[in-house]
Amino acid sequence: MPNNSLRVGVLTGGGDCPGINAALRAVTKSLTLQHDAEVLGFRDGFRGVVNRNVEPLHYRDVSGILTRGGTILGASNKADPFNYLPRGGADVSAQVVKTYRTLDLDALVAIGGDGTMSIAHRLTDLGVGIVGVPKTIDNDLVGTDRTVGFDTAVTIATDAIDRIHTTAQSHHRVMIVETMGRYSGWIALHAGVASGTDVILLPEIEYDVETVAGVCRDRARSGQRFTIVAVAEGARHEEGDYVVQERGQEYTDSIRLGGISRVLADQLREPLDTSIRTTVLGHMQRGGSPTAYDRNLATTLGSRAAALVADGTTGVMVAVQDDAVTQVPLDEIAGQTRTVPLNNPLIASGLDVGTSFGVDDLKVQTGTGDASLSHGR
Ligand code: F6P
């Protein structure tokens, strides 16, 4: 019988994404089976820690959730304890520390994105032992080549663009597909190359409207009477600003991006005499069952997080670097965004096969000339 000398809390912070449940299962099963630990699950991210809304997580509670999207614990992106929106932005971090001590936790495993890792870092300074597990469809966390959820989002976006091809071809249209990703273009890049998109527009490369129009015209002239454009929600044209869907205090990140596809369509209407349609993929990219890759990544990272906690190591996020599992100190991650570097091999490969990135003179040095896909960075 387990003696439960180790007691660990777990939460899922920020927005949901496919693979969170797989990570939760891995953390809980590994801690229970390998380390005789008692696991407590907090409801709705840090909100559950602030309000001490918590219940035991047993092995059987996480059985059968590997393939399920979302999070069985619930999530919240309004529950930053240092800017706690349910209480008008108050600093309630002392409440988190109190819960941690009252429940006599040895550590907290926080499955989350950049917001969660920044909170985790600040709580570490207050004496809370935290191990982070990176999840977000955006793949924008510093310190890890991959985040749980990204592969699934890319797969969904790729499938969607494949389907849009048929209408584009039949009706000789310019079809613009908007992906999520906030200030980084990982989803648009990977789904765009995977689906043979003609133009890929990333936040990292300000696009030129005339270049995009030129691609559409050149294709039409050469007999290909349609063009598919993948545009990341954070893309901007030269001197343009981010296109914002919503501003406000309702969210920890007060800006919600969205709408660039319609802005681009308007920009292209004058130079092009073609019908143009837009599709915003939105939360479709965050829904449903995780891919095999994401399930395996979540299982690997979740069990590594459990091992670190059992070993007494906290203040880190588990990570994948060059196909190896490792951990990175939270202070090296907090407050940063991992954008797509211009020497990314997938950009070089896209250019090689004629994909436009919305500018005329994009020169990419991959260094090795190796267009390996495995590392995604
Ligand atoms: O960070 C994940 C993400 O899906 C982003 O790609 C997107 O900008 C944002 O969350 C949407 O947030 P919400 O679910 O609050 O609309």
Gap from CA of 347 to ligand 1 centroid (Å): 24
DSSP assignment string, 359-375:
-S------SS-----SS
Evaluate whether 217 touches 352 at the Cβ level (below 8 Å). Answer: no
Residues in the chain, total: 377
DSSP assignment string, 87-136:
GTTB--HHHHHHHHHHTT-SEEEEEE-HHHHHHHHHHHHTT--EEEEEB-
Gap from CA of 136 to ligand 1 centroid (Å): 9
- Nearest-atom index, ligand 1, CA of 77: 15
Gap from CA of 151 to ligand 1 centroid (Å): 16
Ligand 1 binding pocket, CB closer than 6 Å: 15, 77, 113, 136-138, 180-182, 233, 251, 256-257, 286
Digit-by-digit pLDDT tens for the chain (377 residues) are: 444 689 999 999 999 999 999 999 999 999 999 999 999 999 999 999 999 999 999 999 999 999 999 999 999 988 999 999 999 999 999 999 999 999 999 999 999 999 999 999 999 999 999 999 999 999 999 999 999 999 999 999 999 999 999 999 999 999 999 999 999 999 999 999 999 999 999 999 999 999 999 999 999 999 999 999 999 999 999 888 999 999 876 655 678 999 999 999 999 999 999 999 999 999 999 999 999 999 999 999 999 999 999 999 999 999 999 999 999 999 999 999 999 999 999 999 999 999 999 999 886 655 444 333 333 33
Evaluate whether 73 touches 40 at the Cβ level (below 8 Å). Answer: no
pTM: 0.95
Place of tokens 């918590």: 54
- Nearest-atom index, ligand 1, CA of 180: 6
- Nearest-atom index, ligand 1, CA of 257: 8
CA distance 26 to 59: 10
- What domains are defined for the chain? 7-148+290-332 (3.40.50.450), 152-287+341-375 (3.40.50.460)
| Cα distances (Å, whole numbers) of residue 180 to 136, 255, 261, 278, 284 | 11, 13, 11, 14, 10
Tokens, residue 330: 């939270």
Gap from CA of 306 to ligand 1 centroid (Å): 28
Gap from CA of 334 to ligand 1 centroid (Å): 18
Strands 255-257 and 244-247, sheet pairing = antiparallel
Which residue, by CA, sits nearest to atom 11 of ligand 1?
A: 256
- Nearest-atom index, ligand 1, CA of 285: 4
Q: What is the C-alpha radius of gyration for the chain, rounded to an integer number of angstroms?
A: 22
- The single residue of 44, 80, 138, 140 carrying the catalytic annotation is 138
Rounded to 5°, the CA angle 59-60-63 comes to 95
- Nearest-atom index, ligand 1, CA of 14: 1
Evaluate whether 130 touches 108 at the Cβ level (below 8 Å). Answer: yes
Beta strand extents in the chain (DSSP E only) = 7-12, 38-42, 54-57, 107-112, 130-134, 174-179, 199-201, 227-232, 244-247, 255-257, 276-280, 316-321, 324-329
Gap from CA of 183 to ligand 1 centroid (Å): 11
Query: Is 138 one of the catalytic residues?
Result: yes
Tokens, residue 372: 């390996």
Quote the pLDDT of residue 253. Answer: 66
Gap from CA of 376 to ligand 1 centroid (Å): 21
Evaluate whether 84 touches 91 at the Cβ level (below 8 Å). Answer: yes
Long-range CB pairs of 245-252 (<8 Å, 24+ gap) are: 249/85, 249/89, 250/78, 250/85, 251/77, 251/78, 251/85, 252/77, 252/78, 252/79, 252/80, 252/83, 252/85, 252/115
CA 92 to chain centroid, in Å, comes to 27
